[in-house]
Structure 1
């Protein structure tokens, strides 16, 4: 059983070593693994809250939650990552669940909209997201918009 420690941070709450680990993991997955040169670090990082998951003091998963009105009208989970050696363990589903819980706490009653890589539609659908757009290219990777609808009777 993995002992995961979860932390929500605003950008101002990052210390240098944690910020380094966070940006290094994002770079490893989004730039190196996916062989995609794009500006991963952007102005949304400054206003987002960031969820980090640690196992044995190693950053193993993370995402950011962008406030409503900046990327979409709704709040938006993004930059969702699970380290390669932790994929297939269920940690990704835990990450999304905790991300949605945090979104509901920070933005009560609002839906959540994401721009998901198209090949991950089934993964996000298992967490309650529905595809709401045709595929489109973003940074030469096929994406779709997906929506998670808030329901006060659905426990997260």
Structure 2
């Protein structure tokens, strides 16, 4: 998998369509969650895209401090279902952390993590803060990563 990091304006129409399709495929269809994915925040994000050949198989969006949370943040973490056995979730998250450190010059990152992924995010240096809450009907917990 090759990683590409792009601001919104640098995305091609094909990339935008493919990443929105992947987000819908996983978050809406697979997780059976009806929610407003097009939330108006993609234009502020740095898009971290994992491609195999010409296909997007992993993706996140990264925000500068103050654009989503007071800290820098990573969201919409997604890996295509038939590609999850290759460790691409860890690869795309590591690339997202690196993008925050190198492009946004900060090491403190906040995420809203699906609760069932706590151990995965712990392995990347994130620690849970506060109580579990429902976001779009799915249990989540706030997590923070300080220099790891």
Range of TM-score over shorter length: over 0.9
Give the structure-2-normalised TM-score: 0.96
- What SS does the corresponding residue of 2:24 show, helix, strand or coil? helix
- How far 1:142 sits from its partner (Å)? 0.5
Aligned pair count reads 148
Aligned to 1:57: 54
**Superposition map of 1:23-42 within 5 A:** 23-42=20-39
Runs of 4+ in structure 1 over 4 Å off:
none
* Matching residue within 30, 44, 49 for 1:47: 44
Alpha-carbon distance between aligned partners in 2 of 1:110 and 1:93, rounded to the nearest angstrom: 17
Is the CA contact (8 Å cut-off) linking 2:60 and 2:75 kept in structure 1?
yes
- What SS does the corresponding residue of 1:123 show, helix, strand or coil? helix
- Say whether residues 1:96 and 2:93 are aligned partners: yes
Aligned to 1:136: 133
- What SS does the corresponding residue of 1:40 show, helix, strand or coil? coil
Alpha-carbon distance between aligned partners in 2 of 1:81 and 1:13, rounded to the nearest angstrom: 20
How far does the alpha carbon of each residue in 1:102-143 deviate from its partner, in whole angstroms, 9 at most, with x for none? Answer: 011122134000000111111111111000121001111110
* Matching residue within 70, 75, 88 for 2:72: 75
Gaps of 5+ in 1: none
Give the structure-1-normalised TM-score: 0.91
Alpha-carbon distance between aligned partners in 2 of 1:55 and 1:19, rounded to the nearest angstrom: 16
- How far 1:46 sits from its partner (Å)? 0.8
Is the CA contact (8 Å cut-off) linking 1:66 and 1:76 kept in structure 2?
yes
Alpha-carbon distance between aligned partners in 2 of 1:103 and 1:133, rounded to the nearest angstrom: 24
